[in-house]
Structure 1
Amino acid sequence: MRYWLMKSEPDVYSIEDLERDRQTIWDGVRNYQARNFLRSMEVGDRAFFYHSNATPPGIVGLMQVSQPDIVDPTQFDPKSKYYDAKSPQDNPRWRTVQVEFVEQFPQIVTLEQLRQTFSSEELLVVRQGNRLSVMPVDEAVAQKILKLAKG
């Protein structure tokens, strides 16, 4: 099992939405490096749910990959803001995963707390200018995040 961090703006899709829905596909990722991280995920991998563009931003819960390597349907939907007219049907450019709710943390682990605890080499989300929406998290770092989340 590996750990990841996946960002979503809470007004687009929040941890509360995932708790209600129980599972969802993580659609709309349009960065090649983030897409490649999605492609390498396996069933059972855990992902920290990070609320971005929020006050304060931070990790709010945990989810688990329940189905890897899914074609992102939004790339073929002309009504979607994630539509990609150049993505071929027979060899789709954008793939994703299905995730399922594991837990919402009792308190947010804020970006400021993450910056105080980890270096940019340890955790990519604290790196200045990092815009990736999906990124790996080392096992030792993940365990520290879980301790911070549980108080």
Structure 2
Amino acid sequence: MAYWLVKTEPGSWSWDDQVKKGVEGWDGVRNHQAAKNLRAMKIGDKAFFYHSVNEKRIVGIVEVVREYYPDPTDEKGKFVQVDFETVKPLKTPVTLSDIKADPRFSDLALLKQSRLSVMPIDDASWAAICEMGGVDP
């Protein structure tokens, strides 16, 4: 199993939206590196659900329930999406400031490639962020 982080603007698609829907396609990704990461996802992989823009915090966990397929919002047919199922919220959201302040995360893509919307998370960082968020990894 691999771990990921997916970013969303809460005004467009929020954790509450994800919870209400249960399972939803992660569409609209138009960055080639982020799309490559979507293509690498497998059923059962988990991802942190990150609210970007003003909040800048991890608020929940989702799981891949359908591997990549064509993104219907892409008229040129170049990009893909995966389906995520809601798993659980973090008891305590983990902010970008919290992550920046912790030296364990100095190599995290979230800090090195801050504009990337879909990124891998290593096992140790996954466990540490889960602990910070008050949930079991």
TM-score range, shorter chain: over 0.9
| Residues 26 and 99 in structure 1, CA contact (< 8 A), matched pair in contact too | yes
2:72 corresponds to: 73
- Segments of structure 1 that go 5 or more residues without pairing to the other structure are 77-86
Give the letter for the 1:67 counterpart.
Answer: R
- Segments of structure 2 that go 5 or more residues without pairing to the other structure are none
Alignment of 1:1-151 (within 5 A): 1-55=1-55, 57-76=56-75, 87=76, 92-117=77-102, 118-121=104-107, 123-127=108-112, 130-150=114-134
Instruction: Give the TM-score taking structure 2 as reference length.
Output: 0.93
Greater Cα radius of gyration, structure 1 or 2:
1
Give the letter for the 1:66 counterpart.
Answer: V
Instruction: Percent identity, please.
Output: 39
| Residues 70 and 98 in structure 1, CA contact (< 8 A), matched pair in contact too | no
Structure 1, residues 68-120: CA drift from partner, whole Å, max 9, x if none? 111100012xxxxxxxxxx2xxxx31011000000111221000001112444
Give the letter for the 1:93 counterpart.
Answer: K
Counterpart CA distance in 2 for 1:133 and 1:120 is: 18
| Residues 2 and 46 in structure 1, CA contact (< 8 A), matched pair in contact too | yes
Counterpart CA distance in 1 for 2:105 and 2:123 is: 15
Helix, strand or coil for the counterpart of 1:142? helix
| Residues 64 and 99 in structure 1, CA contact (< 8 A), matched pair in contact too | yes
Counterpart CA distance in 1 for 2:9 and 2:62 is: 16
Give the letter for the 2:90 counterpart.
Answer: F
1:80 corresponds to: none
| Residues 105 and 125 in structure 2, CA contact (< 8 A), matched pair in contact too | no
Counterpart CA distance in 2 for 1:126 and 1:13 is: 22
Helix, strand or coil for the counterpart of 1:6? strand
Give the letter for the 1:74 counterpart.
Answer: T
Counterpart CA distance in 2 for 1:40 and 1:21 is: 24
Counterpart CA distance in 2 for 1:125 and 1:40 is: 18
Counterpart CA distance in 2 for 1:131 and 1:40 is: 19
User: What count of residue pairs does the alignment treat as equivalent?
Assistant: 134
Counterpart CA distance in 2 for 1:120 and 1:148 is: 16
